[in-house]
Amino acid sequence: MASWNDKSVTNDHLLPYVDSACAAPDVKAALQTLPFERNIFKLVANAKCFFPAFMKLLSCAWSDKRTIRSTDWQLIVLRTAALLDAPYEWAVNEPVAGIFGFDHEKLLCIREGDLSSPNVFTDRQRLLGNMVEQLVLQNKVSQDTMLRAKEVFGDEGVMEILLTQGIYALLAKIMQSAQIDHDPEIPGLEDQLRKYNAATIEKEKFLED
């Protein structure tokens, strides 16, 4: 099972990893949404009816047509992973966060839940962190926080935040329940991520918080 400090593969997972070579055409295509396969998708693919539609939904989180920024998206995912004790989700998304400028100090603060430093986090990011914490610990965002979020992110952005957090919280629960293993190393992962996210990186390059 995936852990925070040990990435050895135990093969103790409680559900099988679906092999794309043996999968139905629509499931195989969904497994190949990204240029590399991940164990989490192979787990979700056990639900053959749900999986293709789920991957279309999940891919919206990576779209350059999103209202929220990629740094918003990754902060939501990483705080969710930390709060729900999901080391696999963190390990998968840490390199993604890296291509959007999250350095070691920032990642450590997110993992520990300390977003207080104005030199590391913006007010926008602290607001996001607060929303995620409320969703995980209280199962809702307070009215005051929602009203502030509407001012910062707009109605569309707020709903994207809620959906994104909900999707990754669901994935975290699946990973932990099925006792997922860490993925084998993916050669050239950073280059593949930069290529896959090139349009978004270019679009957001000059954004200021």
- Residue at which a domain ends, from 26, 46, 62: 62
Cβ atoms of residues 37 and 20 within 8 Å: yes
C-beta neighbour count of 164 within 10 angstroms:
22
Residue 177 within any structural domain of the chain? yes
Residue 7 in domain: no
- Do residue 165 and residue 85 come from a single domain? yes
CA atoms within 13 A on the CB side of 44: 24
| Per-residue pLDDT tens over the stretch 66-125 | 999 999 999 999 999 999 999 999 999 999 999 999 999 999 999 999 999 999 999 999
Q: Is residue 82 part of a domain?
A: yes
Residues whose CB falls within 8 Å of the CB of residue 58, separated by 6 or more in sequence, listed in order: 33, 167
pLDDT tens track for 157-203 = 999 999 999 999 999 999 999 999 999 888 898 888 888 888 888 88
Domain total in the chain: 2
Residues 137, 172 share a domain: yes
Query: Does residue 4 lie within any of the structural domains?
Result: no
One DSSP character per residue, 44-82 reads HTTSTTTHHHHHHHHHGGG-TT-SS-HHHHHHHHHHHHH
Query: Do 83 and 20 fall into the same domain?
Result: no
Which of 62, 88, 118 is at the close of a domain?
A: 62
pLDDT in tens, 123-148: 999 999 999 999 999 999 999 999 99
Of the residues 26, 45, 62, the one at which a domain ends: 62
Residues 121 and 172 in one domain: yes
CA-nearest of 72, 91, 100 to 165 is: 72
In single-letter form, the type of residue at position 166 comes to G
- Tell me: do 109 and 32 sit in the same domain: no
For residue 24, the enclosing domain spans 15-62
DSSP class of residue 86?
-
Both 101 and 189 in one domain: the answer is yes
State the CATH number of the domain containing residue 125: 1.20.1290.10
Number of neighbouring beta carbons within 10 Å of residue 93: 20
- Give start and end residues of each alpha helix (H) in the chain: 25-31, 39-44, 51-59, 70-83, 87-99, 104-112, 123-138, 143-178, 189-196, 198-204
Q: Is residue 10 part of a domain?
A: no
- Both 109 and 142 in one domain: the answer is yes
- Nearest alpha-carbon partner for 154 in 69, 58, 59: 69
Predicted structure pTM score: 0.94
Task: Give the residue from 24, 65, 73, 13 showing the smallest Cα distance to 47.
Answer: 24
